[in-house]
Structure 1
Amino acid sequence: MATVAGDALIITCPSCAAPNRVPRERMGGGTCGRCKSALFAARPLTLTSANFDAHAARSDLPLLVDFWASWCGPCRQMAPAFEAAARQLEPWIRLGKLDTEAEQAIAGRYGIRSIPTMILFRKGQEIARQSGAMPERAIVDWARGAIR
C-alpha cells in the first residue's frame, strides 16, 4: 500500500471525491476535510465518470469495482454479497459499483464483456479481475489474496 509523508494515506471522500490525508492509526474513521462526510461507510459507493478516477487512481486505497447492470440476474444475485463484503474489507479496500449501462465509456475502457465482473485497482492499475457472481466469503478471500 502506498504511503505519504508521516505514514498517512490519501483517502478519497466517498461523497465529494476530495483527497484527504489520514494517518494509518486513524484508518476506518474520520471525516472529509471539505464536505465533513464520513470517509468510511462500510458499503459500496456508486461510481460514475465524475468520481471513478479519483477513487481508482488518486486514492491510496485499493478499489474493488463491481461492474454490473440492473437487468442482469447474476448481478442482482451478487449485490447483497458485495454489500456484505464491504463491511469486512473496509477500511483497507474501498468497494464501488459501476453501472455498465449508465457508464458505458468506463466499461469499454476496461473491456467489460460479461457481467458481473469485478476488477481490483491499485493506484489506477488493474491488479486482478474476476467474472461471474460470487458469494460474500469468496469475494473477501479473492480480494484479500489479490492485494498481498
Structure 2
Amino acid sequence: MSAPAKLTCLECAAVNRVPTDKLTSGPKCGICGAKLSDGKVKALDPATLAKATKSDQLPLLVDFWAPWCGPCRMMAPQFEQAARSLAPHARFAKIDTQDFPQVSQKFGIRGIPLLILFQNGQEIARLSGARPAADIVTFVRSHAKAKA
C-alpha cells in the first residue's frame, strides 16, 4: 500500500488521508461521504479554501472568478473539461470573488479569471486569463509536484 495523501473534503472541509494508490477507486470523505476526487469542479467558501490550500497534498487548482465576468463564464466549460482530464491526480475548485471579496485581497488578485495552483500548503503557480482546457492541463502538469 502506498503512503497516504491528505485531502480536504471540498464539501465539509474534513481532512482525510487516502492511500495514493486508491485515488482511482473513488475515495469518499469519512465524515460526509462526498467523493474526494471525482473530476468535478467544486465551489468553495473562504474557510474551505484556506483549509484545502494548507492541507492538501494533491495539486489543487482554484479558479478565482465572478458571475459578471464574461471571460470567466466562457472558460468554465474548459475548466470542467480539464478537471475531468486530470482526475483523480489533481482536483479543481472555484471561488466567487464577488461573494467573497476578502479572498481577492488575501491572494492579491487584480484581474479575473485567475487560476492558482496549490500543493502541500504552498502556492505553486498562477495562470491569468481565460484558457482552453489543453492549456489548463499543460499548466497543471508542468507545475504540479505529483503525477497529474
TM-score (norm 1): 0.91
> Which structure 2 residues correspond to residues 66-105 of structure 1 after superposition, within 5 A?
66-105=63-102
Q: Which has the higher helix share?
A: 2
Tell me the residue number matched to 1:65.
62
**Which aligned segments of 4 or more residues in structure 1 are displaced greater than 4 angstroms?**
none
Structure 2: which 5+ runs fail to align? none
> Which structure 2 residues correspond to residues 1-148 of structure 1 after superposition, within 5 A?
7-28=3-24, 29-148=26-145
Q: Identity of aligned pairs, percent?
A: 46
Q: What's the offset of the Cα at 1:130?
A: 1.0
Q: What's the offset of the Cα at 1:87?
A: 0.4
Q: Is this contact kept in 2: 1:14–1:40, CA < 8 A? A: no
Q: Is this contact kept in 1: 2:14–2:31, CA < 8 A? A: yes
Secondary structure class of the residue paired with 1:119: strand
Residue by residue, what CA displacement relative to the aligned partner does 1:78-114 show, whole Å, maximum 9, x if unpaired?
A: 0000011110112221111011111111111111111
Q: Residue type matched to 1:130 in 2?
A: L
Q: Is this contact kept in 2: 1:82–1:139, CA < 8 A? A: yes
Residue by residue, what CA displacement relative to the aligned partner does 1:48-83 show, whole Å, maximum 9, x if unpaired?
A: 112111211111112111111101110011000001
Secondary structure class of the residue paired with 1:54: helix
TM-score (norm 2): 0.91
Q: What's the offset of the Cα at 1:143?
A: 1.1
Secondary structure class of the residue paired with 2:47: coil
Q: Residue type matched to 1:72 in 2?
A: C
Q: Is this contact kept in 2: 1:53–1:124, CA < 8 A? A: no
Q: What's the offset of the Cα at 1:32?
A: 1.2
Aligned-residue CA RMSD in angstroms? 1.5
Structure 1: which 5+ runs fail to align? 1-5
Q: What's the offset of the Cα at 1:11?
A: 1.4
Tell me the residue number matched to 1:3.
none
